[in-house]
Structure 1
């Protein structure tokens, strides 16, 4: 399950994968800014941290049991998605898109331009 999620993240323009916290936590960045943190777990213990607009974050947590405040992150701006199979990949991909877009919007214009080419 996590391979498809990782591939989707890495398919984003300028996305790179690093392992600064050890081999079980893949940090996915764009222009040196993290937009996703994928924890590989056994079976259904895998989870994905994603940046999120605070209002949307609260709504997602209310709507989905698999979405909780960001594990080891600023809980106002980050969600953790439990990759337990309860959410369709399309929903997870939409959350990844949102996280990536939030990060890209904060980048300098010259870097944004290289990502939109």
Structure 2
């Protein structure tokens, strides 16, 4: 998945139409589904996962966020 509101969301859909798709229900918020073992380079998939994690953690209440480390 990608970071919501990221310019990368539309880029992946355009560059990899067979391997990227807007995620049902939450796709309108900029979330995509990216296929593993596809034409999308592993580095970009790792970047997408890391960005998604950061976006979700940033929305958590501070008491529920993992300790920085």
Say whether residues 1:86 and 2:19 are aligned partners.
no
The higher relative CO (CA closer than 8 Å, separation ≥ 6) is in: 2
Structure 1 residue 94, shift from structure 2 partner: 0.3
Q: Which runs of 5+ in 1 are unaligned?
A: 1-49
TM-score by length of 2: 0.72
TM-score scaled by length of structure 1: 0.47
Partner of 1:58: 10
Please state which structure has a larger fraction of its residues in helix. 2
Q: How does 1:105-116 map to 2 (within 5 A)?
A: 105-112=58-65, 114-116=66-68
Q: How does 1:57-76 map to 2 (within 5 A)?
A: 57-65=9-17, 66-70=19-23, 72-76=24-28
Structure 1 stretches of 4+ moved >3 Å = none
Secondary structure in structure 1 of the residue aligned to 2:32: strand
Structure 2 unpaired stretches of 5+: none
Provide the rounded CA distance (Å) in 2 between the counterparts of 1:90 and 1:55.
17
Q: Deviations over 1:29-65 (max 9, x none)?
A: xxxxxxxxxxxxxxxxxxxxx2532343122212222
